[in-house]
Structure 1
Amino acid sequence: MTPTAHEELLRPLEEYTRLHLDTLRRFGSRALDLSFPNPQFLSDPRPYDVLASLAAKARPLDLRYSPFGGFTPVRRRVAAALAKQHTLPYAWNDIVMTPGATAALRVALSSLFSPPDRIILVTPCWMDYPLYIQDLGLVFDLVPTAPDKHLDVQAIARAWTPETRGVVIAQPGSPTGVIHDDRELAQLAAVMLRHPAPTPPLLIADEAHALQVWDQTPCPAPATHYPHTITVRSFGKAWDMQGQRTGCLAVSPHLGVRDQAVAALVRSMRVTGHCAPTALTQQLAAALSDTAPDLTGLAELQRHTRRNLTDRGLTVLDTHATRFLYARCPTQDDRVFVSRLAGCGVLVMPSSLFHEPGWFRIALNLGQPHLDRAIDIISQEYGRA
């Protein structure tokens, strides 16, 4: 695959990166950065306390090379925790530790699919899904969600082709924060079960934000509805330590080719050069696997920001998870509106990066009063549009 083949996908990502950097240079500490989810305050200090404790007690063998799938004791603890959350009997060797969710996705796509396979992507979706698929010589089909950003199962069924071998969804949705309920997951499973030959299609369930449900809304696991599921998890996203790059892949215990799939994933870790996470962050993931982050502060910020924006006339998608808000742009060209906000020192992300026009995403990186200043600017520019 030549660089030219990627140009259409890379151009908007690179343009936004330049806008982001130029804005930070121009405004310096006055910039209000609500773009990439890099919170500037501690929501829950426990991972930092645990990491400091682990580092203080570390001996040479605690920092040794890890097998490509991760340390067995770590995989065992992660499997036990995920078994409780999914109500599925995961074993230690169903888990493959990865350097973040991005590597997990790339490893899953590279080891479980091959050209000319087609993969359905439900949009809006994380920005780099299509890039990975295209780079591997696979084909992606973008299928929009319903207007409320829940799954449009009938649209997925209509998009199916004889070459379709997989579907990728995020649960909860990213960038939207929508939680797909049991009904729609069961409907998706029914569509996928109609296509058993030559092998059942795979569902890649990106659960990077599964532990960021900030109210009491249930967040069902796609793997409980469809047996041929590979789940992606991110400890970094869950605990606001994204830069530590710690994630995993979980192969459903009911997958028909369970052993072969795990072997292919571990082998792909070596082939792609994606080693397991560092020894210390694997220990951190194991230590945190039985607990959930304290989202009290995030819930307060979500409710405060939603109320302020809607009171000022903006349309904000009604959702229950993630650090994000998904708001409708005053014009269809979301990139123009986002550029105008950047000119005022406020950074948000245009929905076109997530393969859907007309919206923008806010990451709740700031506490008050900085967040309120950003809301003031967003609403003022919204009214001028």
Structure 2
Amino acid sequence: MSLTTHEGLLRPLEEYTRLHLDTLRRFGSRALDLSFPNPQFLSDPRPYEVLASLAAQARPLDMRYSPFGGFTPVRRRVAASLARQHALPYAWNDIVMTPGATAALRVALRSLFSPPDRIILITPCWMDYPLYLQDLGLVVDLVPATRNKRLDVEAIASAWTPATRGIVIAQPGSPTGVIHDDNELKQLAALMLRHSTPTPPLLIADEAHALQVWDETPCPAPATHYPHTITVRSFGKAWDMQGQRTGCLAVSPHLGIRDQAVAALIRDMRVTGHCAPTALTQQLAAALCDTAPDLTGLADLQCHARQQLTRRGLTVLDAHATRFLYARCPAQDDRAFISRLAERGVLVMPSSLFHESGWFRIALNFGRPHLDRAIDVISEEHARA
């Protein structure tokens, strides 16, 4: 796959989209879609109840135009919540409300970097990171994670060049669900600080899944370890309301170009046509920013699926967050394995979409009866390979 052209990046994504749609058309309601994280059941009704209450009480001015950075009262609530979570003194104007984490990432990359800057990505990574960077004329340097999908700081150091201006990491990892611990983040911060002359490199911390830690594993914030950090958050993912597209950017209070960065982000919200989230979902963000989602059901599914797959001989990556489960394919050709599963009506995602080969990702979208049917098919095809 070429990282230098739109075609090279888009082709595998479009091929998978066709496979996904063809499988849904062929199997209809019998399809077991464990690809994109679209849960078929309600884990926590509270966000839906709050949204319904806000809509029922809404007055005309509650639905007014929002400034490009978002409503000030909403930004105050989000800043206060993140200040407690990150132990950093965020102010309201360090927060930029965005229509989801994808828009936040795109705006941050456009605002804070320019060609010929080089950006390091840790693979496996979210599928569209390289697409955004390539479209902006930025140079992508892919650095594989360790065998257990943790940060390989020595490999990052080896990939560093005089033109390197930033790193993008996900905490927790997506698609892996791995949580980077304090030691990893301290090592990364030390490396980046060694390269802080003449201009400190920026760390983009994608925390879209930070509120989906389904056990008691601590999930430290990269911003607490490295001052030159921009954090991306997704409220929609936290509440299983992905389609509501509600996210934010948080500029570290210790960032040397703090004021300039916020001004650039808000300006680029306008330039790119990315308005703030809808008025109603901003109110929802303010109402729920201090509410931890109930992940009891997700934890049960994670433990069950991991036990079932491991018992049947599959290698499942040890992880503690997200709705995802990352497992090894029986061979390096992950797309061939995923195609065989699709022939039987089971949809999962090949790791080649996440810029590495030989794995696949399951999104735990169903409860046990349907999930167990999918696991049966996955196990049978794995054994046949």
Which whole-Å CA distance do the structure 1 matches of 2:368 and 2:307 have between them? 14
Counterpart of 2:46 in structure 1 is: 46
1:365 equivalent in structure 2: 365
Q: Counterparts of 1:1-385 in structure 2 under 5 Å? A: 5-385=5-385
Aligned length: 383
Secondary structure of the corresponding residue to residue 25 of structure 1: helix
Q: CA RMSD in A?
A: 0.9
State the Cα distance separating 1:197 from its structure 2 match. Answer: 2.4
- The offset of 1:377, in angstroms, is 0.4
Gaps of 5+ in 2: none
| Letter paired with 2:145 | T
2:9 counterpart SS class: helix
Query: Which amino acid in the other structure matches residue 270 of structure 1?
Result: R
Structure 1: distance between partners of 2:45 and 2:91? 30
Aligned mates of 1:166, 1:123 — CA distance in 2: 15
* In structure 1, C-alpha distance between the alignment counterparts of 2:294 and 2:153, rounded to whole Å: 33
> Deviation at 1:315?
0.2
Q: Deviations over 1:167-205 (max 9, x none)?
A: 000000000000000000000000000111231000000
What's the secondary structure of 2:166's corresponding residue? strand
- TM superposition score normalised by structure 1: 0.99
In 1, Cα distance between the equivalents of 2:184 and 2:137? 30
Deviations 1:108-139 (A, max 9, x none): 00000000000000000000000000000111
- Cα distance in 2 for partners of 1:187, 1:205 equals 15
Other structure's SS at 1:81 match: helix
Q: Deviations over 1:19-58 (max 9, x none)?
A: 0000000000000000000000001011100000000000
Give the letter aligned to residue 14 of structure 1: E
Q: Which amino acid aligns with 1:142?
A: L
Map Cα deviations across residues 198-255 of structure 1 (whole Å, 9 max, x no partner): 3100000000000000000000000000000000000011110000000000000000
SS class of match (1:142): strand
Query: For structure 1, which segment, 191-200 or 365-374, has the greater mean C-alpha deviation from structure 2 after superposition?
Result: 191-200
- Cα distance in 1 for partners of 2:197, 2:116 equals 15
Tell me the distance in 2 between the aligned counterparts of 1:322 and 1:316. 14
Deviation per CA, 1:302-348, whole angstroms, max 9, x where unpaired?
Answer: 00000000000000001000000000000100000000000000000
CA distance in 1, matches of 2:138, 2:43: 39
CA distance in 2, matches of 1:273, 1:139: 24
Distance 2:6 2:238 in 1: 31
TM norm structure 2: 0.99
Partner amino acid, structure 1, of 2:39:
P
Where 1:369 maps in the other structure, the secondary structure is: helix
Task: Determine helix, strand or coil for the equivalent of 1:332.
Answer: coil
Cα deviation code 1:245-268 (max 9, x no counterpart): 000000000000100000000000
Which residue identity lines up with residue 81 of structure 1 in the other structure? S
Aligned mates of 2:254, 2:323 — CA distance in 1? 32
Amino acid at match of 1:288: L
- In structure 2, how many angstroms separate the alpha carbons of the residues matched to 1:302 and 1:51? 28
**C-alpha separation between the residues in 2 aligned to 1:74 and 1:242?**
19
Cα separation, 1, equivalents of 2:291 and 2:369? 31
Give the secondary-structure state (helix, strand or coil) at the position aligned to 2:226: coil
Identity, % of aligned pairs?
87
**In 2: Cα distance, 1:191 partner to 1:105 partner:** 23
Partner Cα distance (2:95, 2:204) in 1: 14
Q: 1:253-284 CA deviation, whole Å, 9 max, x = no partner?
A: 00001000000000000000000000000000
Output the amino acid matched with 2:71: F
Task: Give the C-alpha shift of residue 368 in structure 1.
Answer: 1.8
